[in-house]
Structure 1
Amino acid sequence: MKRLQSIARFVSIAALVLAAILLFNHYGITRLRSQVEDMGAWALVGIFLLRFTSVVIPALPGTAYSILAGGLLGFPKGLAVICIADLLSCSLSFFLSRRFGRGLVQKLVGDRFIDKVDTLSKRHLERNFFLMTGCLMTGFFDFVCYAVGLTKTPWRQFAPALIISIAVSNPPIVALGDGLLDGGKLILGFALLGVFGLAIVTGLVKREQPISDTDI
């Protein structure tokens, strides 16, 4: 059942990415970016809220919004919006978990996903700073924030790990959107290398603290 849920989440992310690509190809990336510029700050706020909400409520796919930010806003603006959204949302998740405990977390993530938070909270990530940073760089970072909040990990230990993970993991995904949708082969090449690097990190994290697909 949990494996099917993981597959469903992956399919939903892929569908959102495909829909964005088809939309850009139909209307043209230049035209869409021009319309986004006409919207001014509202476009930035819209993407910010989408990403922010997808982290606080982990059942919603968030990777597609990073790609969307790169495609619509370009790399510099897109990266800034996604990084700020991640920093604020992950911090909020940590403090909500720390302040209100498992009960509120279960309401936010849902009964289907609370087991993921419980599994991660039992991994004792606070004992290994680099392992915690590595977990925050993976696709289940939103669950990690809630899980770490349920432990005794102090904010001063969590914050540096969060900042490092955001600085390392976000650029490749946003650049992927910018390069893929704008036809920038050089940016796309670096983005793919970055995504490959993140995949390696995920593999190392799972080997260090085995987290099977049935757990996550």
Structure 2
Amino acid sequence: MNSKYGKWLRLVGIAIATILIIWVIQRYGISQLHANVENLGVWAPLVLFFLRFTSVIIPALPGTAYSILAGGLLGFSQGLLVICIADLCSCSLSFFLSRQFGRSFVKRLVGEKFITRVDTLSQKHLERNFFLMTAFLMTGFFDFVAYAIGLTQASWLCFIPALALSILISNPPIVALGAGLLAGGKLLLAFAMLGAFALALLTGFLQRKQPIA
């Protein structure tokens, strides 16, 4: 399966997840969803953490929808905290698995159809430029980037600050989008639109300068 087909697979997954979210909202209403989430207590954040965490460890699964859902159901602050912790843990684990067990293990984990993307990213010498590493971790390919950096000579002490910075910059607009759309926060929605536009420009710039498989 080529990389083009993989991109379509991710888009289809995101579309399905988005349609499901819209259907649930229309079926039960946002106020009822909030009430149900409050009744679930700690289980709602844990479930969203698990879904986001899994979507990073297995990059074929779409993760953006979970960021939007976290913002809509948990609110901006709690939703952002859950997503940031999930990304920090999952990307750190991806780096560790890649560094500890090598390319063959990563290939078995992400699948043969996606290993080419990991290989391409690992050959970009991201470890030589902290800001370039951070920029790639801010894109929608950050799950593959974490695996790829683990295959390079980048140290853990170099990877973690870049990861933390990228998470703090890239996650708020997406979570705010969920909080703005689902909870009716106009200010958050405006912030989310501007942030998402900036991230899209960054991804497009990186793809033109150094194409991602």
Q: TM-score range by the shorter chain?
A: over 0.9
Tell me which residue corresponds to 1:203. 204
Q: Does residue 23 of the first structure (1) align with residue 21 of the second (2)? A: no
Counterpart-to-counterpart distance in 1, 2:144 and 2:16: 22
Whether the 8 Å contact between 2:118 and 2:147 is mirrored in structure 1 is yes
Tell me which residue corresponds to 2:48. 47
1:17 CA drift (Å)? 1.2
Counterpart-to-counterpart distance in 2, 1:71 and 1:158: 30
Tell me which residue corresponds to 2:33. 32
1:62 CA drift (Å)? 0.6
Q: Which moved more, 1:137-146 or 1:7-16?
A: 7-16
Counterpart-to-counterpart distance in 1, 2:111 and 2:22: 30
Whether the 8 Å contact between 1:21 and 1:181 is mirrored in structure 2 is no
Q: Secondary structure at the match of 1:210?
A: coil
Tell me which residue corresponds to 1:125. 126
Tell me which residue corresponds to 1:165. 166
Instruction: Give the aligned residue type for 2:154.
Output: T
Q: Which moved more, 1:178-187 or 1:141-150?
A: 178-187
Counterpart-to-counterpart distance in 1, 2:163 and 2:135: 10
1:2 CA drift (Å)? 2.5
Instruction: Give the aligned residue type for 2:138.
Output: M
- Segments of structure 1 that go 5 or more residues without pairing to the other structure are none
1:5 CA drift (Å)? 2.3
Counterpart-to-counterpart distance in 2, 1:165 and 1:70: 18
Which residues in structure 2 correspond to 1:143-182 (within 5 Å)? 143-182=144-183
Tell me which residue corresponds to 2:93. 92
1:137 CA drift (Å)? 0.3
Q: Does residue 76 of the first structure (1) align with residue 81 of the second (2)? A: no
- Tell me the TM-score normalised to structure 1 length: 0.95
1:117-142 deviation per Cα after TM superposition (whole angstroms, max 9, x unaligned):
01100111111111110100000100
Tell me which residue corresponds to 1:7. 8
Instruction: Give the aligned residue type for 1:64.
Output: A
Q: Secondary structure at the match of 1:151?
A: coil
1:41-79 deviation per Cα after TM superposition (whole angstroms, max 9, x unaligned):
111110000000110111111111101111111111100
Whether the 8 Å contact between 2:137 and 2:145 is mirrored in structure 1 is yes
1:8 CA drift (Å)? 2.3
Tell me which residue corresponds to 1:189. 190
Instruction: Give the aligned residue type for 2:164.
Output: I
Give aligned-pair identity as a percent: 63
1:204 CA drift (Å)? 2.2
1:159 CA drift (Å)? 0.7
Whether the 8 Å contact between 1:131 and 1:205 is mirrored in structure 2 is no
- Tell me the TM-score normalised to structure 2 length: 0.96
Instruction: Give the aligned residue type for 2:205.
Output: L
1:68-104 deviation per Cα after TM superposition (whole angstroms, max 9, x unaligned):
1111111111000000000000000001100010111
Whether the 8 Å contact between 2:3 and 2:117 is mirrored in structure 1 is no
Q: Which moved more, 1:97-106 or 1:178-187?
A: 178-187
